[in-house]
Structure 1
Amino acid sequence: MDVDVIVVGAGPAGAFTAYNLAQANLNVLLLDKERLPRYKSCGGAVSLKVQEILTDFKINNVIEDEITKVVFSHNFQQPINIDFLKPFTYMVMRDKLDDFLVKKAQNLGVKVIDNNKVVEVIQNKNQVQVNTNTDSFTAQLIVGADGAKSVVASDLGLMTDLEYGVAYEKELKVSERRLNSQRGIIHLDYGIVSNGYVWVFPKAEHLSVGVGTYAQGIDLKGKLNDYLVSERLIDSDVLQAKGHLLPIGGDKHKLNNQRGLVVGDAAGLVDPLSGEGIFYALKSAQLASKTIVNTLSKAGSLDRYTELVNQEILPEFKKARLIGKIFFPFSKTIHKLFNKKEWILKQLLTVIYGGKSYSDLYNTFRSEIPFLRFKV
């Protein structure tokens, strides 16, 4: 099969890239190694910022819960309750969200082939050849949306020096009473695990409970079990349990060559403070698809994509990394500050899930925690 663009990976980054390219009347093939739809380990928090990108349609039908409150604690202690009074983020399951976006792309003519694992990408002068475990395809350009440890990135010679965090999550079946008590509320604790946090997110029929960290050598399963004991969830039925890598964003990388580019997790575009990836998957898909359309119409080159990511995403990631260097090592002290000045915590949440800037939050941290000013 010969197409204009092959997109590898049917997550939010890949599906939305394919959708946008099809809107521009390009012939697009979307490949995924698994049978769709499939379970994906992910907290599933969709921020308000996503609405700025998904302007063509709403995702109401895949929203599992609307979050208005958050409870912060530090190593099980001193819980802080923040109530925004209106939704500040939404909960989704990735299998449903991804399937929704894939179907939107299919409706515009994107050819989707699942259960087809890419094993090799060969670049030629005028095209790219993609070999899978069952077939071979050619296109003018390729998009790697195949996540952390991307095959496409590797074969294109991109993203060779990424750093990774790791997360481990369980989907738990709980009583209707417990689920109702959790409705509209997320719980976060950032003292249990070094350089990370644990969470409880409510879904329509179960709870997603997980732990993530950017530190090395952490017993994630043990830390999560400790948290489950504290939350009285340790005896809950486990529906799914799976870990995944978190490619740490914040450093400049070459995200393209002449025949292809990478988006989302494959491009290392995960928030280095919160671990959020869905918004940046969609944002990079938006930037990538515009660049590809211009490239194929001879109005530019794929190099423009790397420039756009460096301009529109990387500055925020760099500030998020700096905040992380303040936040995680001094989390106990900062939690005491949050208890006295809840508005700072609210600002933190607004940055992660709303439209505020990490630059503003960074300045707040530096001004409100004077003894940390020279420790970054």
Structure 2
Amino acid sequence: MSRPEPGIVAETFDCVVVGGGPSGSTAARHLASQGRTVLLLDRQGRIKPCGGAIPPRLIRDFDIPDSLICAKANEARMIAPSDRRVHMPIEGGYVGMVNREAFDEWLRARAETAGAQRRTGTFDRIEREADGSALILYRPAGAPKDAPPIAVRARTIIGADGARSNVAAQAVKGADKQRYVFAYHEIIKAPAAGTADFEASRCDVWYQGNLSPDFYAWIFPHGDTASIGVGSMQKGFSLRTAVTALRKVAGLTECETVRTEGAPIPLKPMKRWDNGRDVVLAGDAAGVVAPASGEGIYYAMEGGRLAAEAVEATLATGKAGALTQARKRFMKAHGKVFMVLGIMQHFWYRSDKRRERFVSLCDDPDIQELTWQAYMNKELVKAKPAAHARIFFKDMGHLLGLRPA
């Protein structure tokens, strides 16, 4: 049967968190540490294509140990359509690189240590009992295909089950209107020093139309391995072919491939994250991946924390309206950054001519300084109005073609 038989009492949790990535694990840990009963339900073998970059603010805010940092990048290199290469050194800081397989598992284990129950299984659906309370139905990993799903009661639900979230599709209005970039990457064994166009402390970002007609390609170091990937919205564009071409031009063709992964990445935050009752979304399910950069780990964990705080307020007060605070607080803190990055992606990624000018902009010291400050601290830099003014006029000059590329 799909629901508990009469007289059989299903387990009841204050919150069921669907999805054990950075967002769901963060939410589960937060609620469990507050004394709430939490079920963390995660799909088996779930890893998404991800460059694995995390900023210093994430490391500070979420107490990430240095042992999880598999590489520290101290510069980024931007490669233009003309093959011009612009180096962007990070003065006095670094970008931490993590292996998502190890990083995500560590976060899930930490949530369990805080008191969350972990189970591996696939979310099936939400059903409603006669009094309107929610039943979460899921299929445990390894269960026979014809076995009935298991049901648990949930006072609240956090949907952190990634892009194209099944929780969102069932519970939150507007989920079917979300747009995506499709990403694919290959994890390879890192080459020996000096044998390829690769540096263990450098993130390479390729802005070339043959590698991605509307987004970018990347080569990111992961210690003993590296992530080589590409994203695009264009239907019919072969991501695998693009990665093969990138590996060839970078001299990485002969490196052993460890694994390959592909997944959609949302383009912008959803307009609504909750159902006004007992469900709230977080992470990719809520669309919190930064436009232009595709960065998602910090925003996923921040979104998970805010979703957990909204759920805690709802449980404490009985007022479902508190669930709206997750999106409101996130957008207040990060909405302007997302808007700026969305405009940047719209204007600069549309053609190789514009991509060439964009990479030229990246060679500007003012832009480099403010870019890294904003990335490291996850907020727009307000202390240097003169620099912002200079950047505005340079940006407009490049956009209108009044400055040489």
Structure 1 and Structure 2 fold alike (TM over 0.5): yes
Give the partner amino acid of 2:126.
Answer: V
* Whole-Å separation in 2 of the counterparts to 1:255 and 1:247: 17
Which of 304, 310, 335 lines up with 2:359 in the alignment? 335
| Pair 1:42 & 2:50 matched | yes
Any idea what the Cα deviations from partners look like across 1:283-310, whole Å, max 9, x if unmatched? 1111111111111111752122232233
Which of 184, 194, 201 lines up with 1:168 in the alignment? 184
Question: Residue 214 of structure 2 corresponds to which residue in structure 1?
Answer: 195
| Pair 1:89 & 2:95 matched | yes
Alignment of 1:306-325 (within 5 A): 306-325=327-346
Which of 241, 253, 256 lines up with 2:260 in the alignment? 241
**Aligned partners of 2:137 and 2:151 also within 8 Å:** yes
What is the percent sequence identity of the aligned residues? 22
Q: Which deviates further from its counterpart, 308-317 or 238-247? A: 308-317
- Check 1:88–1:250 CA distance in 2 against 1; reply closer, same or farther (3 A cut): same
Any idea what the Cα deviations from partners look like across 1:336-369, whole Å, max 9, x if unmatched? 3434x24324433443344341888986653213
SS at match of 1:99: helix
- Check 1:156–1:299 CA distance in 2 against 1; reply closer, same or farther (3 A cut): closer
| Pair 1:127 & 2:137 matched | no
* Whole-Å separation in 2 of the counterparts to 1:26 and 1:87: 37
Q: Which deviates further from its counterpart, 197-206 or 70-79? A: 70-79
* Whole-Å separation in 1 of the counterparts to 2:381 and 2:257: 36
Give TM-score scaled by structure 2 length. Answer: 0.84
Q: Say how many residue pairs are matched.
A: 369
* Whole-Å separation in 1 of the counterparts to 2:397 and 2:270: 27
SS at match of 1:130: strand
Pairwise CA distance, 1:224: 1.5
Which is greater in Rg? 2
* Whole-Å separation in 2 of the counterparts to 1:46 and 1:118: 28
- Check 1:306–1:203 CA distance in 2 against 1; reply closer, same or farther (3 A cut): closer
Segments of 5+ residues of structure 2 without an aligned counterpart are: 1-10, 140-148
* Whole-Å separation in 1 of the counterparts to 2:35 and 2:318: 16
Pairwise CA distance, 1:40: 3.6
SS at match of 1:302: helix
Any idea what the Cα deviations from partners look like across 1:163-202, whole Å, max 9, x if unmatched? 1001110011243335996221111111242221111111
Any idea what the Cα deviations from partners look like across 1:56-101, whole Å, max 9, x if unmatched? x333121101111221111361111222244321000111111111
| Pair 1:352 & 2:375 matched | yes
Segments of 5+ residues of structure 1 without an aligned counterpart are: none
SS at match of 1:77: coil
After superposition, the CA RMSD in angstroms is: 2.5
Give the partner amino acid of 1:113.
Answer: R
Any idea what the Cα deviations from partners look like across 1:111-130, whole Å, max 9, x if unmatched? 0001x111111245452111
Give TM-score scaled by structure 1 length. Answer: 0.90
* Whole-Å separation in 2 of the counterparts to 1:9 and 1:270: 16
- Check 1:365–1:166 CA distance in 2 against 1; reply closer, same or farther (3 A cut): farther
* Whole-Å separation in 1 of the counterparts to 2:69 and 2:361: 34
